[in-house]
Amino acid sequence: MIYKKLIDNIENRVGKFKSKGNIRMIKILEHFDNPCDSMKFIHIAGTNGKGSTSYFLYEILKSKFKVGLYTSPGLTSYRDRIVVGDLRISQSEFLSIGEEILEKEKLILDRYGELNKFEFLTTIAFIYFKRKNCQLVVLEVGMGGRCDSTNIIKAENKLISIITSISYDHMQYLGNTIEEISSEKAGIICQNGIVVTSNKDKKILKVLQDECKKKNASIYYSKDLCVKILKSDLQGSKFILNLEKKDYEISLDQIGLYQIENSILCLYSLFILIKKALIDFDFLKATKLIKDAKWKGRMDLVSKNPRILLDGAHNIGGIEKLRDNLKLFYFDKLYLVSSILKDKDHKKMLEEIGEIADLLILVDLESKSNEDIEILEKEAQISVKKVMCKSSLKEALNYIVPMARPDDLILVSGSLQLIKEFYILKEMDELSYD
All residues at 6 or more sequence positions from 331 whose CB lies less than 8 Å from its CB, including other chains = 307, 407, 408, 409
Identify the CATH homologous superfamily for domain 3-290: Mur-like, catalytic domain (3.40.1190.10)
pLDDT of residue 171: 62
Instruction: Give the residue from 73, 117, 172 showing the smallest Cα distance to 416.
Output: 73
> Which DSSP letter does residue 132 get?
T
Give yes or no for a contact between 151 and 33, defined as CB atoms under 8 angstroms apart: no
d(CA 324, CA 29): 43
For residue 263, which of 297, 230, 302, 293 has the smallest C-alpha distance? 293
C-alpha torsion sign, points 324, 256, 65, 268: negative
The phi, psi pair for 35, rounded to 5°, reads -60, -25
Nearest to 315 by CA among 409, 402, 217, 416: 416
The rounded distance, in Å, linking the Cα atoms of 220 and 196 is: 5
Angle at CA 191, nearest 5°, toward 185 and 196? 50
> Cα separation of 81 and 90, whole Å?
11
Residue ranges per structural domain of the chain: 3-290, 300-423
Residue 113: φ, ψ to 5°: 85, 175
Handedness of CA 325, 327, 330, 331 (dihedral sign): positive
Q: How many CA atoms lie within 13 A of 76 on its CB side?
A: 10
Q: For 160, how many CA atoms within 13 A lie in the half-sphere containing its CB?
A: 28
Beta-bridge partner residues of 187: none
3-state DSSP call for residue 141?
A: coil
Total length of the chain: 434
Q: What whole-number distance in Å separates Cα of residue 70 and Cα of residue 137?
A: 8
Rounded to 5 degrees, φ, ψ at 152 are -120, 10
- Helices 23-30 and 117-131, axial angle in degrees (round to 10): 40
The Cα–Cα gap between 140 and 223 comes to 21
**Contact of 161 with 45, CB cutoff 8 Å:** yes
Digit-by-digit pLDDT tens for the chain (434 residues) are 899 999 999 999 987 556 667 999 999 999 999 999 999 999 999 998 899 999 999 999 999 999 999 998 877 889 999 999 889 999 999 999 999 999 999 999 999 999 999 999 999 999 999 999 999 999 999 888 888 999 999 999 999 999 999 987 766 668 889 999 999 999 999 999 999 999 999 999 999 999 999 999 999 999 999 999 999 888 899 999 999 999 999 999 988 888 999 999 999 999 999 999 999 999 999 999 999 998 888 888 888 888 999 988 878 878 888 888 887 778 899 999 988 877 677 878 888 787 788 899 999 876 666 777 787 878 778 888 898 989 889 999 999 999 999 999 999 998 888 888 888 888 777 676 55
Percentages (nearest 5) of helix, strand, coil residues in the chain: 45, 20, 35
How many degrees, rounded to 5, is the angle at CA 8 between CA 55 and CA 143?
Answer: 40
Yes or no: domain 300-423 corresponds to CATH 3.90.190.20: yes
Per-residue pLDDT, 81: 94
pLDDT at 226: 96
- Determine the pLDDT at residue 19: 62
Report the helix count and the strand count for the chain, using DSSP H and E.
16, 17
67 pairs with which residues across the strands? 136
Q: Are 285 and 249 in contact (CB under 8 A)?
A: no
Handedness of CA 213, 217, 223, 225 (dihedral sign): positive
Q: What is the DSSP letter of 65?
A: S
Question: What gap in Å lies between CA 349 and CA 315, rounded to an integer?
Answer: 7
Task: Please tell me the number of Cα atoms within 13 Å of 385 on its side-chain side.
Answer: 9
What 8-state DSSP symbol labels residue 372?
Answer: P
pLDDT at res. 349: 80
How far apart are alpha carbons 143 and 136 in whole angstroms? 21
Phi, psi of 166 (to 5 degrees): -110, 135
The model carries a pTM of: 0.89
CA-CA distance, 162 to 57, in Å (whole number)? 11
